[in-house]
A and B are shown apart, each in its own frame.
Chain A
C-alpha cells in the first residue's frame, strides 16, 4: 500500500533534551494507527511535527505529494485548546476547518456553508448548527471539533486523545464513526490510555522519546518495554486484545 508520509531518523526538541529521537515511521493509506505511550513521551509532539508546527532538529519528514499535503490533514486537538466560553456557534467552528484552504481575506461562500451542513448532517448535529459552544455537552463538542477536522476532506486525520471529551458511554459511537471514516482516510489516534484502545485500530506506534512502529497485528510476548518497567497485561478471554512484538 502507498505511504502518505515517511519520517527518517527524525529528532525534535523544545530547546533541551530531544523529545523525539531518531524516529523512523510511516503511515499508509487507510491505516488506522493507535499512538500509545506515557504522558510526556512525545505523542502530541509527533502530531505537531506532522502538522508542520515544529521543525525537526535532524532527520526529515517527507510527504508523498501525490497523496498528501499540509492542506489535506484534518486535526482534532485535545479539548483544552479552544476557549469553550468563547461566543462562537457550532456552524462557525465547523467552517473554521475550511480556513486551511483559504486565504486570510476570503469569505465563506454558500458552497462552503452547504459543505458545512453536509458534515453537520453526517455527524447528526443538525439542530445544533446555530447553538453557542458553551451550551454543548462533551459528546456534542467532540462531534463539532471532529466536524471541523473533516470539512476539508482530509486524507489523514490526526486525533489527540479524543477520549478526553466524553465518558465511556459515548465513546463507542465515536469509534464506530471513526471506523466509517477510515474507509476514506488514514487515521492516527493518540491515546494515553494504554490499557484499552478501540478494536478498530489496525496498527500501533509506541512513543516514549523513541518510536516503535508495529505495522499490523502481531502476536508475541510483550510490548511494554517503552514504559521502562516490567508490566503484565491482564485481560479476560472474551475481551479482544493485541499483544505486540518486543521492541528492539
Chain B
C-alpha cells in the first residue's frame, strides 16, 4: 500500500515536472534559439552554479542563490553587449568559468559533504520537491501570459531590434525583462536536468519544432509537445532502467531529433525525386 502511494506520488511528480519543464523550456527555448542566444544561455546556466555554491555556504535555498546569480549575469551580458565595447563571446566564456569556479569553491568551503551536488550538476527527479514543481508551474503561467500579452512586441524586437527602436522606446526594457525570465526558467529547470544538461532541454525541442514549421508561435507549441514527449519518455526509461534522469531525458530528446530529422530529409528527397520524374 505504502509502496503504491510512493509510486503514485512519484509518477504525478514526474508528469507534472515534465509538463511544466516542457512549457517553460518551450517558450524560453524558442526565444533563445531564434535570437541565437544559446551560448549566452549556457553562460547564464553555468554562472548560476556560483549562486548554488554561495547558497549552500550561507545556508539559504541554493535555487534562490542560483536565480539571483542567473538574472544578474544575464542582465550584465545583455548590457555589456549593447554597449558593444566588449567581445560578447569572450565575456560569456569568462562568466561561464567564473560561475563554476565560485560554485565549487563555496561548496568546498561548506562544512560537511554536500550529497546533492551531483543532482545540481546532472539533475535528479528524486530531489525535486513539491515547491520546485510549484515554482515551475507558476513560471509556466507567467511565461504563457507574458508571451500572449506582448507577443508582437517580443517577436518584432528579437527579429529586428534596430527597426523596433524607430517606433518604440521600450526595446531595452523588453530585452531585459525577457532575458531575466529566460534566466529564471533555466535556473528552475536545473533541478530537472542539472547545470550541465539543462541547456539541451531548452534548445533541442525548438530544433525539433523547426523541422515542421517556421512560424514562431507554432514553434513554441511544437517545442512544448516535443519537450513533453521527450521528458516524459526519458523519465519513464530512467525509472525502469535505473538510469540518471537528466541524462536519460536529454538522450531521448536527441534520439527524437535524429529520427524526425531523418524522416524529414528522406521525405524531402522523395519529393525531389518525384518532381524530377514528372519532368
Interface residues of A (CB under 8 A from B): 51-53, 71, 75, 77, 81-83, 86-89, 92-93, 95-96, 99-100, 104-105, 107-108, 130, 132, 134, 148
Contacts and interface: CB of A to CB of B under 8 A. Distances in A.
12 contacts: A86-B35, A86-B158, A87-B34, A87-B216, A88-B159, A92-B159, A95-B152, A96-B156, A99-B152, A99-B156, A99-B167, A104-B168
Q: Is the interface of B mostly helix, strand, loop or mixed?
A: helix
B54 interface: no
B165 interface: yes
Nearest to A71: B167
Contacts, number: 72
Interface string B184-221: 00000000000000000000000000100111100100
B219 A82 contact: no
B166 A53 contact: yes
Contacts of B210: 87
Given A51-B166, A99-B167, 7 more contacts: A75-B166, A77-B162, A83-B34, A86-B158, A92-B155, A99-B153, A104-B170
A81 B160 contact: yes
B158 A53 contact: no
A86 B168 contact: no
Interface of B: 34-36, 149-150, 152-153, 155-156, 158-168, 170, 174, 210, 213-216, 219
A37 to B, nearest CB: 21
Contact of B155 (A52, A88, A148): A88
Given A99-B152, A104-B150, A75 B159 contact: no
B167 A100 contact: yes
Contacts of A148: 163
Contact of B159 (A51, A53, A86): A86
A96 B150 contact: no
Given A83-B36, A99-B156, A75 B214 contact: no
A246 B150 CA distance: 53
A132 B160 contact: no
A89 to B, nearest CB: 6
A82 B160 contact: yes
Nearest to A80: B162
A99 to B, nearest CB: 5
A105 B150 contact: yes
Given A83-B159, A87-B34, A87-B219, A96 B214 contact: no
Given A86-B34, A132-B214, A96 B152 contact: yes
B153 A104 contact: yes
Contact of A87 (B150, B163, B215): B215
- Kindly name the residue among B34, B36, B156, B168 whose own CB sees the greatest number of chain A CB atoms within 10 A: B156
Contact of B216 (A81, A88, A96): A88
Contact of B162 (A52, A81, A92, A104): A81
Given A81-B160, A86-B34, A87-B219, A108 B152 contact: yes
A173 B79 CA distance: 42
Contacts of B158: 86
Nearest to A93: B159
Contacts of A99: 152-153, 156, 164, 167-168
Nearest to A76: B163
Contacts of B216: 87-88, 92
A148 B164 CA distance: 12
A43 to B, nearest CB: 16
A83 B167 contact: no
Contacts of A92: 155, 159, 216
Given A87-B214, A132-B215, A96 B162 contact: no
Contacts of B156: 96, 99
A161 to B, nearest CB: 14
Nearest to A78: B162
B152 A82 contact: no
A89 B214 contact: yes
Given A83-B36, A92-B155, A100 B160 contact: no
